[in-house]
Chains A and B, each alone.
Chain A
Amino acid sequence: MQFRGTRHEAERKAIAEDYSQTVERLIRGGGWGEMPAPEDQLPDRWMPEAFFEYWAGRQATP
């Protein structure tokens, strides 16, 4: 939600990095049982690849 509050690339990058760390922590925790609502997700290009690997078994792009 905070992500949509800015169009500045640098600010979005910082928010995406923070989001990525949260995703990694949830995956490491092992009990992540519910995907965030669409409005709580980032656009695909800003999402960490680990998110898609975890939720859809998508293979990481080389």
Chain B
Amino acid sequence: MSSTPPCRVVQVMAFRGDRSRPRAAAFQRALDDERNGHGPGPSPIECLLFAGHAGVTTNGGAAIYGFNPDGGGLPVWQLLDRLKNGDAFPAVVRDDAFAFATAQKHGLPVLSFEVILPEPRFQEVGGALDAERRNSQYSYGFPNGDGDCNCITWLERLGLPLLTGRMDEFIGLTGWTAAPSRRFGRCV
């Protein structure tokens, strides 16, 4: 009997937001309307289609879990503005499969790659994901702000390796020069 554990697959998924001129103008107007009391503001799905999103699935995309800010009832314009300022918010992990399906329906390329892990490592990631779904231990924030992570860097908090290990890929990351210093969480 082999002692080698079986392989299990975690799929990382992401789509880039649509911020082309007509879409961006409509989104900005919705924010302005909400701010001025003339409209409800963009919906949560519209926010994700504008900003882009990342998530993780262990069942082929039936459920895709993503890390989102919990604004606690704040208007969207205000939540976005405070995130841009660097503020941190509590986070909620939810099944965003509908957002990914909607992105695809709108013609946005939905990218994915497989992370293949030995069963024990898969169980660790699954356990971390379950705990996060119940109650995330991380706060949400935009890069270099007071929050612990956003939807992308949260994947690393789950223990998912996002890089392949190829040196050319690592050296080719634009962040070496674009963001030579990055903060993850509030500190002085």
On A, residues with C-beta under 8 Å from B are 1-5, 7, 33-39, 41-44, 52, 55-58
B24 touches A35 (CB 8 A): yes
The verdict on A37 contacting B19 (CB below 8 Å), with A1-B144, A4-B86 known, is: yes
A37 touches B17 (CB 8 A): yes
Helix, strand, loop or mixed for chain A's interface?
Answer: loop
Extra A-B contacts (19), CB below 8 Å, given A4-B143, A33-B21, A35-B27: A1-B144, A4-B84, A4-B144, A5-B181, A5-B183, A7-B86, A33-B20, A35-B21, A36-B19, A37-B51, A38-B80, A42-B84, A43-B85, A55-B24, A55-B25, A56-B25, A56-B28, A57-B25, A58-B32
- B interface residue count range (under 10 / 10 to 19 / 20 to 34 / 35 or more): 20 to 34
**Can you name the residue of chain A whose Cβ is closest to the Cβ of B178?**
A1
B15 smallest CB distance to A (angstroms): 12
B85 touches A56 (CB 8 A): no
**Distance A16 CA – B21 CA, assembled complex (angstroms):** 23
B57 in the interface, Cβ–Cβ < 8 Å? no
Which residues of chain B are near A36, meaning CB under 8 Å? 19
The verdict on A4 contacting B85 (CB below 8 Å), with A34-B19, A37-B51 known, is: yes
27 sample A-B contacts, Cβ–Cβ < 8 Å, listed by A number = A1-B142, A1-B143, A1-B144, A1-B179, A2-B144, A3-B86, A4-B84, A4-B85, A4-B145, A4-B183, A33-B21, A34-B19, A34-B20, A34-B21, A35-B21, A36-B19, A37-B17, A38-B50, A38-B142, A39-B51, A39-B143, A41-B84, A43-B81, A43-B82, A44-B77, A56-B25, A56-B28
Contact with A along B60-87 (1 / 0, CB 8 A): 0000000000000000010011111110
List 9 A-B pairs, minimum CB-CB distance, nearest first. A35-B24, A4-B86, A56-B28, A35-B19, A39-B142, A4-B145, A4-B144, A43-B85, A43-B84
Which residues of chain A are near B142, meaning CB under 8 Å? 1, 4, 38-39
**Can you name the residue of chain B whose Cβ is closest to the Cβ of A41?**
B84
**Distance A33 CA – B21 CA, assembled complex (angstroms):** 6
B52 in the interface, Cβ–Cβ < 8 Å? yes
A9 smallest CB distance to B (angstroms): 12
Which residues of chain A are near B182, meaning CB under 8 Å? 1
